[in-house]
Amino acid sequence: MAALGAVFFVSVALAACGSSDSSVPGNAVASVNGTPITMATFNHWLTVAANSSSQSATGQSTKTAVPVPPDYTACISSLGTQLAAVLKGKAKPTQAELKSECAQEYQSYLQQVMQFLLSADWVLGEAQQQGIKVSDATVAKQFATIKKQQFPTTAAYNAFLASSGETLADLLLRVKLELVSTDLRNKVTAKAGNITSAQVASYYNSHQTTYGTPATRNVSIILVKTQAEAQAALAKVKSGTPFAVEAKKVSIDVATKNNGGQLTGVVRGQEEQALDTAIFSAPLSKIEGPVKTPFGYYVFAVSKITPATQQPLSKVAATIKTTLAAQGQQTALTKFVADFTKRWTALTVCRTGFVVQDCKSYKAPKATGATGASGATGASGG
């Protein structure tokens, strides 16, 4: 619950400057379908985001003051003090460098917070339009389960609230969003999971190789350059010379001459066409040849025939049904996400300095040959 992750389907986007809109009240950073997201709400979650990122991989706090544009005064002071303790005896960063770092931190937090707040409004708005309701009692019950799993003691829970800056209301909101998102997803994909027997049969008929194994043959071969050499090898083997002995003596096939001329598990189409046709036409144990190919002349004998196998539809129908249901649900979800994003983006108006990809006025930054932080100090808190 401490992580400030994305909710539902909304993707992370780079911030960009854009025009503010008169429909955004003066005390708000954005408006979703006419409902404002206040500056106070943004600042609260900005603190949560900053607190969340202040914990190092070892669990040690690396907390600095929350970066507040445009001056970042508290952040600069806090970051400077923190770095001074680490860089003892070394050159300290300049005020400009500290300000640049604080500005970059602010932009990173702004992305997380705006994405979270906008996506939360989108999900709750979509649920309301589709008649999906999750009761407070259901949310409270789910929260109690999560709390019990993640916080073994009341002290641990209270410590989390203190360190994260989150409130009980924040945590209940997270749980509600998760439950509502799940219900939305289930509603979108419900019909797509209904697969008929005809669909299963059609899939099986067009994917039969998936549910079977082809016929294979083990073959002993001798490859030589000329027809005369092939006739001589054929005569030797037919007169009783072991195939392995003759292969080692005269074969030019380096892959098989030292293992008795053996090719195992040969499937139709694997060998050169003329040899392939001869192998799969030959009876078991009969010495055949010569067979002319672009590589030379072959003498061969089939030593083992393994018939093809095929699982009946009745054995794989359940697996196919699951596969088709998953494919259908993913298709339905992908289509819904595209429509969902388009509709709610059109209803999302953001104030200048808080424009992200989910805002109607967002414009993708032009590609340049160099990376810069031109937008890093451009967002203001008011």
| pLDDT single digits (tens) 52-64 | 886 543 344 556 7
Residues 207 and 221 in one domain: no
Residues 189 and 219 in one domain: no
Residues 171 and 52 in one domain: yes
Could you tell me the CATH number of the domain that includes residue 261?
A: 3.10.50.40
Band of residue 89 on the pLDDT scale cut at 50, 70, 90:
confident
pLDDT at residue 82, rounded to an integer:
85
pLDDT at residue 376, rounded to an integer:
35
The total of structural domains in the chain comes to 2
pLDDT tens digits for 171-229?
A: 999 999 999 999 999 999 999 989 999 999 999 999 988 999 999 999 999 999 999 99
Query: Which residues form the domain of 288?
Result: 215-307
Per the CB < 8 A criterion, the answer to whether 268 and 279 are in contact is no
pLDDT at residue 87, rounded to an integer:
81
pLDDT at residue 126, rounded to an integer:
97
What φ, ψ does residue 272 adopt, rounded to 5°? -55, 145
Give the C-alpha separation, 379 to 72, whole Å.
12
Could you tell me the CATH number of the domain that includes residue 180?
A: 1.10.4030.10
Residues 101 and 155 in one domain: yes
Give the C-alpha separation, 361 to 206, whole Å.
47
Residue with tokens 């059609």: 202
Domain stops at, among 257, 279, 307:
307
Residues 266 and 362 in one domain: no
pLDDT at residue 369, rounded to an integer:
55
pLDDT at residue 55, rounded to an integer:
58
Q: How many CB atoms lie within 10 A of CB 299?
A: 30
Q: Quote the mean pLDDT of the chain.
A: 88
Residues 128 and 258 in one domain: no
pLDDT tens digits for 96-106?
A: 999 999 999 99
Give the C-alpha separation, 229 to 298, whole Å.
10
pLDDT at residue 21, rounded to an integer:
58
What is the mean pLDDT of the segment spanning 148-168?
Answer: 94
Residues 64 and 199 in one domain: yes
pLDDT at residue 367, rounded to an integer:
67
Provide the Cα torsion 359, 362, 365, 366; round to 10°.
150
Band of residue 368 on the pLDDT scale cut at 50, 70, 90:
low
Residues 186 and 223 in one domain: no
Q: Percent of the chain, pLDDT > 90?
A: 78
Q: What is the separation of C-alpha 241 from the centre of its chain, rounded to a whole number of angstroms?
A: 60
